[in-house]
């Protein structure tokens, strides 16, 4: 089977040629490309934006999310591997990748790599029922940046996110975009955020409840209310990723109505001195 890899010069050209890689199958690549469309100054010319075509149809896509990380959409393993081999042939081996679980074994053969996070991608296409949990969802305020930074620092620690995730920068960017939300019942109880908005879809991330407020359904209420807000506002899909190792979190999202789409793995490439990668 012949796979053709195409490199696109701009986010606009990339988005226009994603074909069957829709905004659920390629939620991160769509989200990042649309972010660059909205903020052209944030796009670095020459950033690889790739599609893989099989029998004349786009089957998968990938982009360089940062200097050291590549994100892949869903797609056939042969298409994912062709995209990865493009980076290898260019001598631009990444430090980390986000890849569909279905292609993980082949990527590990190409690049010595080990998993740092294993997620399930979920999607919701119909507004969930209104929550009965006490409180209401509101947009976070600029003057709340101090405690929001503390909460997101704790979230990063709980989620075992890399040190490169900077809470202060994240809070400032989310507040500026109006993408950070608080579930409040007299006082703030939980937070949730939007990411990668496009005209048709958006992701929910950074869902966090401090220990003192857990067990009351506040995070579920925040996610359900935020998803309903976006779907009733015109989005056709809301996506999120959930750590496969957190059974209670996965149950919560399924109860809201999110349906599993596919499993993904965050892989970090090993240096030659490390032992064999864990597949």
Between CA 209 and CA 219 the distance in angstroms is 6
Between CA 79 and CA 60 the distance in angstroms is 6
- pLDDT single digits (tens) 62-101: 999 987 899 999 999 999 999 999 999 999 899 999 999 9
Between CA 208 and CA 154 the distance in angstroms is 9
Residue whose structure tokens are 């930074």: 149
Q: Name residues whose C-beta falls within 8 Å of residue 211's C-beta, 6 or more positions apart in sequence.
A: none
Structural domain boundaries of the chain? 3-119+264-269, 126-235
Q: Are 217 and 206 in contact (CB under 8 A)?
A: no
pLDDT of residue 159: 80
pLDDT of residue 270: 79
| The pair of three-digit structure tokens given for residue 232, joined into one six-digit string | 């009733």
Between CA 277 and CA 271 the distance in angstroms is 10
Residue whose structure tokens are 């209310």: 225
Overall average pLDDT of the 122-141 stretch:
97
Taking all residues of the chain, what is their mean pLDDT, rounded to a whole number? 93
pLDDT of residue 279: 33
Overall average pLDDT of the 158-166 stretch:
73
- pLDDT single digits (tens) 164-207: 568 999 999 999 999 999 999 999 999 999 999 999 999 999 99
pLDDT of residue 165: 67
Does residue 25 sit in helix, strand or coil? coil
- Indicate if 126-235 has the same CATH topology as 3-119+264-269: yes
Q: Are 204 and 228 in contact (CB under 8 A)?
A: no
Q: Is the pLDDT of residue 158 over 90?
A: no
Class of domain 3-119+264-269: alpha beta
Class of domain 126-235: alpha beta
pLDDT of residue 275: 39
pTM value?
0.93
Q: Is the pLDDT of residue 151 over 90?
A: yes
pLDDT of residue 272: 40
């Amino acid at each position: 089977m012949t796979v053709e890899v195409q490199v696109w010069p701009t986010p606009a050209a990339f988005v226009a040629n994603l074909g069957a890689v829709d905004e659920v199958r390629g939620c991160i690549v769509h989200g990042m490309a649309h972010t660059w469309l909205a903020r052209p100054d944030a796009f670095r010319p020459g950033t690889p934006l790739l599609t893989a075509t099989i029998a004349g149809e786009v089957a998968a896509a990938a982009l360089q999310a940062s200097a050291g990380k590549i994100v892949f959409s869903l797609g056939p393993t042969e298409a994912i591997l062709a995209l990865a081999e493009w980076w290898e042939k260019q001598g631009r081996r990444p430090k980390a990748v986000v890849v569909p679980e279905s292609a993980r074994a082949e990527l590990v053969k190409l690049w010595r790599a080990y998993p740092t996070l294993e997620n399930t991608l979920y999607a919701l296409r119909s507004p969930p029922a209104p929550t009965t949990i006490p409180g209401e969802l509101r947009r976070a305020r600029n003057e709340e940046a101090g405690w929001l930074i503390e909460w997101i620092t704790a979230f990063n620690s709980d989620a075992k996110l890399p040190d490169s995730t900077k809470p202060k920068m994240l809070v400032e960017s989310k507040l500026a975009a109006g993408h950070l939300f608080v579930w409040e019942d007299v006082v703030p109880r939980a937070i949730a955020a939007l990411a990668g908005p496009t005209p048709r879809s958006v992701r929910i991330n950074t869902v966090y409840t401090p220990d003192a407020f857990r067990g009351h359904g506040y995070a579920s209420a925040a996610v359900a209310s935020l998803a309903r807000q976006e779907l009733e506002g015109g989005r056709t899909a809301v996506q999120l990723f959930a750590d496969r190792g957190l059974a209670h979190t996965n149950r919560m999202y399924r109860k809201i109505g999110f349906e599993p789409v596919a499993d993904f793995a965050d892989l970090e490439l090993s240096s030659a001195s490390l032992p064999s990668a864990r597949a």
